[in-house]
Chains A and B, each alone.
Chain A
Amino acid sequence: MNRDNDKGKVLLKRSLIMACGMAFLLLCIIFRLYYLQVYQADKFKMLADENRISTRLLIPQRGIIYDRNGVVLATNEQNFQALIVAEQTADVQQTLDSFKKIMPLEDFEEERIKRDLKRNKSFVPIKVKDNLTWEEVSKIQLNAAELPGIFIDEGLNRYYPYGEKMAQVLGYVAAVSDTDEKDDPLLEVPGFQIGKSGIEKFLEKRLRGKGGILKMEVNAYGRVMKEIEETEGVSGENITLTLDARLQEKAFDAFGDESGAAILLDVHSGEILAFVSTPAFDPNAFTRGLSHQEWNALQTNEKKPLVNKAIQGQYSPGSVFKPLVALAGLESGAIKPDTRYFCAGKMLLGDHPFHCWKHAGHGYLNVVEALMHSCDIYFYETAQRVGIDKIAEMARRFGLGEKVNIGLEHEKAGLIPDKEWKLKRFGEPWQVGESLISGIGQGYILVTPLQLATMTARLVNGGYEVVPTFFPIDDRNLLKIKKINVSDAFLDIVKQGMFDVVNQQHGTAWASRFNYNGMKMAGKTGSVQVRRISLKERQSGIIKQKDLPWKYRDHAIFIGYAPADNPKYAVAVLVEHGGGGSSVAAPIASKILYQSLVLDPIDYRKH
């Protein structure tokens, strides 16, 4: 009995201990609740929201680009696409088969659709086909009954109405690539496109706008349960360029199949009215996405449609450089307005012969006549007396040898050599013979067509240091343009020479003259050899340009302006391997200048 009592006492004691133990463990649970629900509550609330809320960026409308007259150059077009949502159809394959009866699908497209369907949850819309036409959209809507799970969705696509004619200025937009700087969360949005070249790239930030934000509640499988809030985005800024779409089109068409560049400027403001590099590419195809073949064709084309020749092409200026040599000669006093040199078709420096393009020679010429006939001997003589440094210095005043910084990519600076440059570059002193060939714009000198247009505008606008631009120059900025330190009288002599080039019967561009309501054009031709003419060939007769393979023909250049008596428009035309400046480049320049006088898009403004 005693033992039974002990047994009861032990049980009481032990079970009380255990009850305390249980109470303690329940207290632990309460402490844990406190830790999670009070102490760490904020952290878990945030995590719960991260789970629950999914944010989607809404793509803003990209800014529209206009020309100076309000003509649309780049815009956004509605793009209709057909989507399929797997969970909304009983049989995906059957829906796709019905779709194919209405609109054929390529095998690779069908493969992509099936792959996307497999990778995504059944409520995620998968693209079946995009860029649908109106007829295709209405066909799908008419057959909606047989197409369960198919939806039409509209998005915006960048569209360039002028296609390749504006391609080298505007550039294009395309999907963000790995190498693009990710400075905006918009760039992470699938399907978002950014400017990849041209103005589209240069003004990317202004054109892009700000993305809107859509906050949605999603469940554990990612399905959208409801929209929480939407913040409106901001559309991109609309941009007006100085281009005139009509002149751009005419200038582009004037080239035909030729490869080259043309820039038309307002001589007083520097505003660019036309900016052509040809052949070009279709930016709409780039935006849509190029096939492998299309890309290869562009890459291997010997006329290099992807290169913007107006700023990336560096050429010897040839004879269009002569006005600057004349100016340097006049300013240094090496020649006077009435100085005459005799051209016998060739001259000797030491025992090395230098040839004029005219085998028979021009006889005695003054500076105006030398420009008109583009006599090489006269400018050999002048360059020999002036020296390269003064010529280089004059060239720089007119914008050669340095970048314009127009805003487009890969712009080249060209090259204006002088004695210091040669020593630095080759470690050898400058040779007089090099001055001679520099005098006719050959040798080391390299310029871009845009620099030539700049040079022309500065020569004829009264010597003002205009800088080409795609963006309108207001009157205040117009008045800020400085004058170049060069004598007006000397400029008049050069202009007289350039007038005679076109308007004198023996001028090199006589064939390209026009008279529009009494307004005429003036200019200077240039032809640049791209191969060396051997002594043997010189003796047996120089091969005619049209008999040479395309890539051995001369580059044809023309710089010009109009009206000749009161210049408003300046143009530089370069035709790669075109043959002769007078026969190929001048007619193109003439067409462009004539059209600019006819359309006359700019107000007359002077400094």
Chain B
Amino acid sequence: MYKPYETSFRAQRMSIKEKLMNISFWYVFFICLLAAIGVTMLYSAANGSWSPWAINQLMRFGVGLGVMIVFALIDIRLFMRYAYVFYFFTLILLFVVEVGGHVGMGAQRWINFGFFKLQPSELMKIALVLALARYFHASSLQSIESVKGMVPPLLLALVPAGLVIIQPDLGTGLMLIMTTTAIFFCVGVQIWKFAVLGIGAVIMAPIAWHFLHDYQKNRVLTFLNPERDPLGAGYHIIQSKIALGSGGVFGKGFLKGTQSHLNFLPEKHTDFIYTMLSEEFGMIGAVAVILINFCIIAYGYSFAFKSSSYFGKILAIGLTTNYFLYVFINTAMVLGLIPVVGIPLPLISYGGTVMLSIMTSFGILLSVHINRNISVGKESSF
């Protein structure tokens, strides 16, 4: 069959050297810059000590860089071929965790492999984007705009999202739904369908509520209303705002954040690390981090626009949206704009799983860019 975009056979098979040459230098530079800021803040969070966080984070980032390069070198058609396999594999892991969670403690979200803990919900963020990208790559605009065509991708999204929510990890569950919504929006689903789905969700909510356990209901309620737990989430957000505000324009200086170092600020090495950064480096530091993130997101879009394959475009947009959601939800949360949810700031917050999954998605994004001229067939074949 004649394929107009496939100009030469050479373009379909790139050497490793060619691929490495095609890695976007500035993209990797911004990622490393953010990671460096993160390690610096973790050094400060430990009151000026490399242990316990900064040194670990640095090593993880090193591993993450390796993972990123490996994924960058993978041919985009392989992602296409194994998208569903990967998706269903992750879904099974989610079920395992859900069952294990029942047996074990209240909210176990990971599978312990001894040397590292696998968090399937984190994996699902990538797997879902892959699965949706593959689905929409193959479907026509008529199918996208039809009601029937919406059923498979909706199921792809709602099944894992539901599983994650009842874990209960409402933050991650909502992130899955928002990423899905963004992809639906981009591929051209009519606006009125979002409205219908929104209304449907509101109607379904009470029924879903009925099936939740008491401890799950409690967690959901606390998420919706932090005042339920005034010494917990409510206290955290007040202290976070004080820390941020008192930083002013220029900040209190490295290692000199009083709110952070006198322990008024909770979780300063994980979810609230952006607050500590803003306290010590002021608005200048805080805006700088936003701008770097803006660059990373902008590059993600440019990868999408440059990609010649629909699959690559959706993949780039979906993963970039996922990254954007991390950044926005975390910063908006510590700034007191939205309720407190346990979403870390990628590359800066301390944590291995998110580091690994984010670096993996950067690797896939780089792969989209490297393979921008590779055409991808509608079926999964080279």
Contacts and interface: CB of A to CB of B under 8 A. Distances in A.
Interface of A: 3-4, 6-8, 10-12, 14-15, 17-19, 22-23, 25-26, 28-30, 32-34, 36-38, 40-41, 43-45, 47-49, 51-52, 217-221, 225
Q: Which 3 interchain pairs have the tightest Cβ spacing?
A: A44-B245, A48-B246, A10-B188
B344 interface: no
A36 B331 contact: no
A41 B252 CA distance: 12
Given A19-B301, A33-B287, A37-B286, A14 B294 contact: no
Contacts of B263: 219-221
Given A3-B140, A7-B140, A14-B186, A37 B283 contact: yes
21 contacts: A3-B140, A7-B310, A10-B141, A10-B187, A18-B317, A22-B324, A22-B328, A25-B328, A26-B293, A34-B283, A37-B247, A38-B249, A43-B245, A47-B242, A47-B246, A48-B264, A51-B242, A52-B262, A217-B262, A220-B263, A225-B262
B140 A45 contact: no
B188 A15 contact: no
Interface in B240-281: 241-249, 258-259, 262-264, 278
Nearest to B308: A8
B contact patch SS: helix
A201 to B, nearest CB: 42
Given A48-B264, A221-B263, 5 more contacts: A3-B141, A7-B140, A37-B247, A47-B245, A48-B243
A6 B258 contact: no
B182 interface: yes
Given A3-B142, A18-B185, A33-B278, A45 B248 contact: yes
B1 to A, nearest CB: 13
B335 A29 contact: yes
Contacts of B187: 7, 10-11, 14
Interface in B330-344: 331-332, 335, 337
Contacts of B363: none
A1 B239 CA distance: 57
Given A15-B317, A48-B258, A52-B258, A29 B331 contact: yes
Nearest to A39: B245
B244 A37 contact: yes
Given A11-B313, A15-B301, A44-B242, A37 B262 contact: no
Nearest to B335: A32
B185 to A, nearest CB: 6
A397 B93 CA distance: 107
Interface string B164-206: 0000000000000000001001111000000000000000000
A204 B248 CA distance: 46
A76 to B, nearest CB: 36
Counting chain A CB atoms within 10 Å of each CB, which of B182, B186, B282, B321 scores highest?
B186
Contacts of A26: 290, 293-294, 297, 327-328
A167 to B, nearest CB: 49
A430 to B, nearest CB: 75
A41 B310 contact: no
Contact of B264 (A15, A18, A34, A220): A220
Contacts of A7: 140-141, 144, 187-188, 310
Contacts of B182: 18
Contacts of A10: 141, 187-188
Counting chain A CB atoms within 10 Å of each CB, which of B188, B313, B314 scores highest?
B188
B246 A45 contact: yes
A359 B248 CA distance: 99
B248 A37 contact: yes
B27 interface: no
Contacts of A45: 245-246, 248
B305 interface: yes
Contacts of B317: 15, 18
A29 to B, nearest CB: 5
B304 A15 contact: yes
Contacts of A220: 262-264
A530 B243 CA distance: 77
A291 B356 CA distance: 69
Contacts of A40: 245
A225 B244 CA distance: 22
Nearest to B304: A15
A20 to B, nearest CB: 10
Nearest to B302: A19
Contacts of B331: 29
Nearest to A225: B262
B280 to A, nearest CB: 12
B276 to A, nearest CB: 13
Nearest to B188: A10
B264 A11 contact: no
A8 B249 CA distance: 44
Nearest to B266: A220
